[in-house]
Amino acid sequence: MIEELGNRLVNCRPTTPCEDVVNDPESGKIPRCLVLEERSGAKGVIILGINPGQAEPIERERYMNERSYASVRNYWKENSNRWRYYEELRIVADSLGYTGPILWTELVKCESRKKGRRISPQTMRNCIRQYLEKELAIFKNYPIIAVGNQAFDYSSLRFPDKLVIGIPHPTGSFGTFYKLFCTRSKKKKLKDKYIRIIEKKRHSIPKPAIKLFPG
């Protein structure tokens, strides 16, 4: 079913224009960042960002030549291990016991028209309704790790039946993200106090929204 959504995604033509993001297949800037990473553990998780960063020139060239979900997925598989965003967030998921599949996704699937600009509420509403709501319906039992304040705030309010864990962005939080981790451990992992917070509230009813943002 993710394959089906992915095929729809790369060909998205919204009825309501999303004015603060770019969807321009002719320049290789297409909707993307929806990938299910299969892993061997039992507990899966959704890792949710705001929207994709700026596509690399070589990435745009590929999509200009082959605009397909297979191309998006394959580029991600070939390159995700060199992107710090994914490397660091896998460590967070593993530290919290989510060693199974990861659904990598975004609130909005198109990159910003201007780098660093916040995404408007209307664009969020449009894209969440078209895609993210359907993704979460497939992975009903997966909690959400929301990356950054905006992703945490929106997912906490929009999905009250989900456990939502908010963390700083690995590359855009001025070092706050790295305060989550042990400094004396040979293997990088979250500090025990953050793991205990999640363990204590993981099975709470109603589902909590927990923000792990070190001061």
Residues 201 and 56: their CA atoms lie apart, in Å, by 39
- pLDDT score recorded for residue 115: 77
- pLDDT score recorded for residue 16: 75
Match 């291990």 to its residue by tokens. Answer: 81
pTM for this structure?
A: 0.94
Residues 159 and 144: their CA atoms lie apart, in Å, by 10
- pLDDT score recorded for residue 19: 86
112 pLDDT band, cuts 50/70/90, is very high
124 pLDDT band, cuts 50/70/90, is very high
Examine the pLDDT at 149 and tell me if it is beyond 70. yes
Q: Domain of 175?
A: 2-211
- pLDDT score recorded for residue 183: 75
**Count of structural domains, the chain:** 1
Task: For residue 195, give the H/E element and its range.
Answer: helix 192-201
Q: Residues 6 or more apart from 179 whose CB is under 8 A from it?
A: 214
Match 């979460």 to its residue by tokens. Answer: 136
Residues 59 and 62: their CA atoms lie apart, in Å, by 5
- pLDDT score recorded for residue 184: 65
> What Cα–Cα distance (Å) separates residue 93 from each residue in 17, 117, 165?
35, 27, 10
**Amino acid identity at 81:** N
Q: Can the peptide bond before residue 17 be classed as cis, meaning omega within 30 degrees of 0?
A: no
Which is it for strands 35-37 and 102-106: parallel, antiparallel or unpaired?
A: antiparallel
Which CATH number characterizes residue 11's domain?
3.40.470
172 pLDDT band, cuts 50/70/90, is confident
pLDDT 10s digits, 18-76: 889 999 999 999 999 999 999 999 999 999 999 999 999 999 999 999 999 999 999 99
173 pLDDT band, cuts 50/70/90, is low
Tokens of 96: 């919290």
pLDDT 10s digits, 187-200: 788 999 999 999 99
- pLDDT score recorded for residue 114: 84
How far does the chain reach from its first CA to its final CA, in angstroms?
A: 40
Residues 157 and 136: their CA atoms lie apart, in Å, by 14
